[in-house]
Amino acid sequence: MKRRRNEQEETQTMEIVWQTPSNPPKRQDYIFRDGIRYVKPYYFEFISHAKNRWAGKTIVDLFADEFKGRPRDYYVSAVKAGRIQVDGQIVPISYVVRPSEKISHFVHRHEPPVMARDVKILRLEPDVLTISKPASVPVHPCGQYRKNTVIGILQAEHDVAPLFPIHRLDRLVSGLLILARSASQADIFRQQIESGEIKKQYIARVKGVFPDNEQVANVNVNYNAREGKSTVEDLIKKIISSKGKSACTKFTRISTNGTQSIVLCEPVTGRTHQIRVHLQFLGHPIANDMLYLSECVNQRSIEGLSADRAAAKLVPPIIHNQCEIYVPQSTDEPIEDFRIDPMCTNCPNLAPKGYDGDEDGLWLHCVRYSGPDWTYECPYPDWASLS
């Protein structure tokens, strides 16, 4: 009891600077350790409005039921300390939530780590920026990521803002990323995408000897957001799902060493995990894609892991050849201290629970986008060489 009282007293006397989305990332916000990019934990206000299903619950029950990443005792302490508020007011732990009320949760935010690879600028034009996106880094703020994103890193390290991504690459996918530097240019790109004027090319390293003639996967894709995984509709059993969306990808073999192959992938449509699941459907999944190599039931809820991280924990690691490993430039710097928050459930660790930062990207890389009067390209990654 004495320790908890001391922690509460320390929390009340701490001088805390709360950050909001308007606070731009800065170079000094990052810590590099053993080839991994961390973000210094920082104070942040999460805001939500009470959903109808939340109405009638006490403020503590609401958080304990809906946000299971922290123990109930934490939410009790957070409400008492004023770190959870309703409409900007401190409330008792017995407070009953009503629909549409503004609920604020002030947290000591720990972002997941990413690999410490450069976000390399390929072309910087007045209206367009193209970069080589490293694997493991999400494009824009989402979920637990805010500063550890392509947008955040470009702003912090290159002072480039604002930026408008005109397409997206999954977090584990690398390669060409096109960003407009104005809303009007972004609209031009989006109109070209919607009208089907843009062609996309990726390369993948897959299992087995891929056929030497063009293969076309014209199979509906159904993405299960809860499981974080896509499936194709069963054409043999002629099972047609109302949830499945039409999807088409063309594949051409570039090279093979008799065990694995490098394949050019040209998606005609743009469904979630389309290339990954279509390659699995053809019997040649991406050779390090644990999510689509495994037949195990996904357990993404364990420790709040993403589908890919959960799959990686269920499947034995692949033995890599030397040519298959990225060798990032040495970016390690002296470890900087950060403030330990007495109420934080993640301190003193840099990363939140469940994230060890030990992951490589998929062998899937965007190499080329072309439109009516423009083409942007990105160099091949090291793993594209099978020699």
- Count of domains forming the chain: 2
Co-location of 101 and 245 in the same domain: no
Of the pLDDT bands very low, low, confident and very high (cuts 50, 70, 90), residue 244 is confident
Cis amide leading into 328 (omega within 30): no
Q: Which one has a higher pLDDT value, 124 or 236?
A: 124
Of 118, 127, 170, 360, which one is the catalytic site residue?
170
Distance, CA of 182 to CA of 370 (rounded, Å): 19
Is 29 an annotated catalytic residue? no
Residue 58's pLDDT is 97
Report the percent of the chain where pLDDT is more than 90. Answer: 66
Listed residues 92, 109, 126: the one ending a domain: 109
Residue 330's pLDDT is 37
Co-location of 260 and 381 in the same domain: yes
In a domain, 330, yes or no: no
Of the pLDDT bands very low, low, confident and very high (cuts 50, 70, 90), residue 226 is confident
In a domain, 25, yes or no: yes
Residue 233's pLDDT is 80
Domain holding 313, by residue range, is: 198-325+360-387
pTM for this predicted structure: 0.82
In a domain, 277, yes or no: yes
Residue 355's pLDDT is 75
Residue 201's pLDDT is 97
Residue 15's pLDDT is 66
Task: Please check the confidence at residue 54 and state whether its pLDDT lies above 70.
Answer: yes
pLDDT, mean over the chain: 85
Co-location of 208 and 309 in the same domain: yes
CATH number at residue 258: 3.30.2350.10
Q: Which one has a higher pLDDT value, 78 or 313?
A: 78
Q: Are strands 42-49 and 18-19 parallel, antiparallel or unpaired?
A: parallel
Task: Please check the confidence at residue 17 and state whether its pLDDT lies above 70.
Answer: yes
Co-location of 203 and 81 in the same domain: no
In a domain, 223, yes or no: yes
Of the pLDDT bands very low, low, confident and very high (cuts 50, 70, 90), residue 329 is very low
What Rg, from alpha-carbon coordinates, does the chain have? 23
Task: Please check the confidence at residue 346 and state whether its pLDDT lies above 60.
Answer: yes
- The answer to whether residues 183 and 171 touch, using CB atoms and an 8 Å cutoff, is no
Tell me: the pLDDT tens digits for 288-308?
999 998 765 455 444 455 666
Co-location of 274 and 371 in the same domain: yes
In a domain, 73, yes or no: yes
DSSP-derived 3-state class of residue 80: helix
Residue 332's pLDDT is 40
Co-location of 207 and 314 in the same domain: yes
Co-location of 262 and 384 in the same domain: yes
Co-location of 66 and 208 in the same domain: no
Listed residues 79, 109, 139: the one ending a domain: 109
Residue 224's pLDDT is 87
Co-location of 105 and 202 in the same domain: no
Neighbour-count burial of 293, counting CB atoms closer than 10 A to its CB (0-12 exposed, 13-18 middle, 19+ buried): middle
Residue 101: closest CA among 64, 143, 54, 67: 54
Co-location of 262 and 373 in the same domain: yes
Listed residues 76, 109, 142: the one ending a domain: 109
Co-location of 371 and 226 in the same domain: yes
State the alpha helices, DSSP H only, in 201-356.
274-281, 290-293, 307-314
In a domain, 288, yes or no: yes
Tell me: the pLDDT tens digits for 127-178?
999 999 999 999 998 888 999 999 999 999 999 999 999 998 999 999 999 9
Place of tokens 């364990």: 302
Number of DSSP helices (H) and strands (E) in the chain, helices first: 8, 20
Tell me: the pLDDT tens digits for 196-218?
899 999 999 999 999 999 999 99
Residue 327's pLDDT is 32
Average pLDDT over residues 252-268: 97
CATH number at residue 47: 3.10.290.10
Residue 339's pLDDT is 80
Cis amide leading into 211 (omega within 30): no
In a domain, 182, yes or no: no
Number of C-beta neighbours around residue 25 at 10 A: 23
In a domain, 385, yes or no: yes
Co-location of 216 and 90 in the same domain: no
Of the pLDDT bands very low, low, confident and very high (cuts 50, 70, 90), residue 333 is very low
